[in-house]
Each structure stands twice: as structure tokens, then as C-alpha cells.
């Protein structure tokens, strides 16, 4: 499965944990499904749109045969909004900084998803469940964590099939090296809230905790 990196600057390097996976759809306007280009553009910043930040870690196109990643798993993206779920016995709110957001291109209240989308979504979800030890009950739709909103990923999304696929086979997957989730190999500049810029030399890929430790060292060391 190919993952292409299209960077969004709508993210926060602060994240608590990857405890949940949230499934969304990108929606429609006047009966027309949002295009992939339009969706990716919406998840990237425009100067006049800073107030309406939206992003997700992954977008799964309808017609192409690859997954798009826009935000690192270790960073917080803006997909869940007002939301809540019980995680390990504790009710948590506003789940962006505890989850990975996956967007399916389309509107699940208008039309079925493509078979590629199910294939890619199941592949990606199982992979992330393995990687972050996320149990099936913490894989939910936006409609579940934010009740009252429009059904998202929609009435046509086949939860029964999806849940079967992610529950029955997840435990036997052996994770492979997964370099494609990271941005291209050249130097990567991460933005921190205090406008500090940290350059990660190419070839190195420090963990989230190492990066947090570095920030603390530079602030208090």
C-alpha cells in the first residue's frame, strides 16, 4: 500500500497519545462529493482561513490507489472538534490530541465507498492498531464521538464488515518497517507554539518523547 505525503501546516506538535482512531468522510456540497484536490487544499493553510483550521492524519481517495498522509501520527491534527469518549475507564473530551484522524473521500450519506477505500482503510487501521496498541473498541466514527452531528462517515459506511476485519485479524499482523509515514528525507522544520523552529537532520527520526525532552532541556536546562 502506497502512502503519499502531502504536508498540512494545520497541526500541533503537542499530543497526549494515540489512543483512538477516528473515521470521517470529507463530505459533499450541493449533492457533489468534495474532490480530492479540494479536500487536500482545505486541509492546508490559507492566510485568510486560519480561523477555521481543519486537518487529519490521513485521507483515503475514492479513485486513486494510494493513501495521502498530511500530519504525522505524533502530532495533533484538527478533525474531532467537540467530542468525547471513555478511554480506559476515563471520559475524555476534545479527542484531537488523543487520536489519529482518517478521512474517507466522499459522503457516506449519499453514496457507497469504493472497494479500494475499504481495503486501504482496513490496512491502515490494522497497522495503526498494532503500532499504538489500540483496541477495536477505540476505533470509532466521528458520529460516535460527537453525537448530534450529521452521520459521519455516513449511513452507507459498512461498520459490520469493517469491525469484523479489524477485530479478527489484527493480532496476527507483524509490523514491517514503515518509512513512508514520515515526510521526505530532506530536512524537516517543525513549528512549535512559541515559534521555535527545530530542524531534524535527515536520516534521524527522533521519537515524540525525545523531541519533547529536547524542548524541555532547551527551556529549563
User: With CB under 5 A as the contact rule, which of the stretches 40-48, 91-99, 126-134, 150-158 interacts with Zn ion?
Assistant: 150-158
The SS3 assignment for 24 reads strand
Q: Does 72 sit near Zn ion (CB under 5 A)?
A: no
Choose, by CB under 5 A, the member of 15, 24, 72, 128 that binds Zn ion: 24
Q: At what angle do helices 115-132 and 159-168 cross, to 10 degrees?
A: 40
**DSSP label at residue 29:** E
Residue 76 DSSP code: B
Say whether residue 143 binds Zn ion (CB under 5 A): no
* Count of residues near Zn ion by CB under 5 A: 3
Q: Of the residues 19, 74, 103, 143, which is catalytic?
A: 103
Question: Of the ranges 22-30, 39-47, 131-139, 170-178, which one interacts with Zn ion (CB under 5 A)?
Answer: 22-30
Closest to Zn ion by CB, 13 vs 154, is 154
Distance in Å, CB of 140 to Zn ion, minimum: 11
CB under 5 A: which stretch of 36-44, 139-147, 156-164, 169-177 binds Zn ion? Answer: 139-147
The DSSP result for 94-115, as a single string, is SGGGGEEEEEESS-TTTSPPPH
Q: Which of 71, 78, 142, 166 binds Zn ion (CB under 5 A)?
A: 142
Going from the C-alpha of 5 to that of each of 28, 99, 181, 218, 219, the distances in angstroms are: 24, 19, 7, 30, 31
103 is catalytic: yes
- Closest-CA residue to 125 (of 87, 73, 202, 53): 73
Per-position x/- string for 151-190, each x denoting binding to Zn ion as judged by CB under 5 A, each - no binding:
-x--------------------------------------
CB of 56: closest distance to Zn ion in angstroms? Answer: 8
Contacts of 123 (CB under 8 A, 6+ apart): 1
The set of cell numbers assigned to 177 is 518497517
> Which residues are designated catalytic?
103
Amino acid at each position: 500500500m502506497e502512502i503519499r505525503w502531502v504536508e498540512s501546516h494545520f497541526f500541533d506538535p503537542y499530543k497526549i497519545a494515540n489512543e483512538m482512531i477516528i473515521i470521517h468522510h470529507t463530505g459533499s456540497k450541493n449533492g457533489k462529493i468534495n474532490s480530492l484536490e479540494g479536500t487536500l487544499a482545505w486541509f492546508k493553510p490559507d492566510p485568510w482561513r486560519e480561523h477555521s483550521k481543519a486537518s487529519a492524519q490521513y485521507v483515503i481517495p475514492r479513485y486513486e490507489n494510494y493513501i495521502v498522509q498530511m500530519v504525522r501520527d505524533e502530532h495533533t491534527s484538527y478533525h474531532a472538534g467537540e467530542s468525547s469518549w471513555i478511554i480506559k475507564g476515563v471520559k475524555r473530551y476534545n479527542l484531537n490530541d488523543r487520536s489519529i484522524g482518517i478521512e474517507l473521500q466522499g459522503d457516506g450519506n449519499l453514496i457507497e465507498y469504493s472497494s479500494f477505500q475499504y481495503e486501504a482503510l482496513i490496512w491502515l487501521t490494522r497497522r495503526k492498531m498494532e503500532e499504538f496498541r489500540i483496541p477495536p473498541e477505540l476505533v470509532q466514527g466521528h458520529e460516535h464521538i460527537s453525537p448530534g452531528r450529521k452521520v459521519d462517515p455516513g449511513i452507507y459506511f459498512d461498520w459490520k464488515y469493517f469491525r469484523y476485519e479489524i477485530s479478527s485479524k489484527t493480532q496476527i499482523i507483524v509490523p514491517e518497517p514503515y518509512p513512508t509515514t514520515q515526510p521526505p528525507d530532506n530536512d524537516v522544520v517543525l513549528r512549535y507554539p512559541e515559534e521555535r523552529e527545530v530542524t531534524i537532520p535527515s536520516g534521524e527520526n527522533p521519537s515524540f518523547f525525545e523531541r519533547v525532552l529536547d524542548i524541555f532541556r532547551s527551556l529549563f536546562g
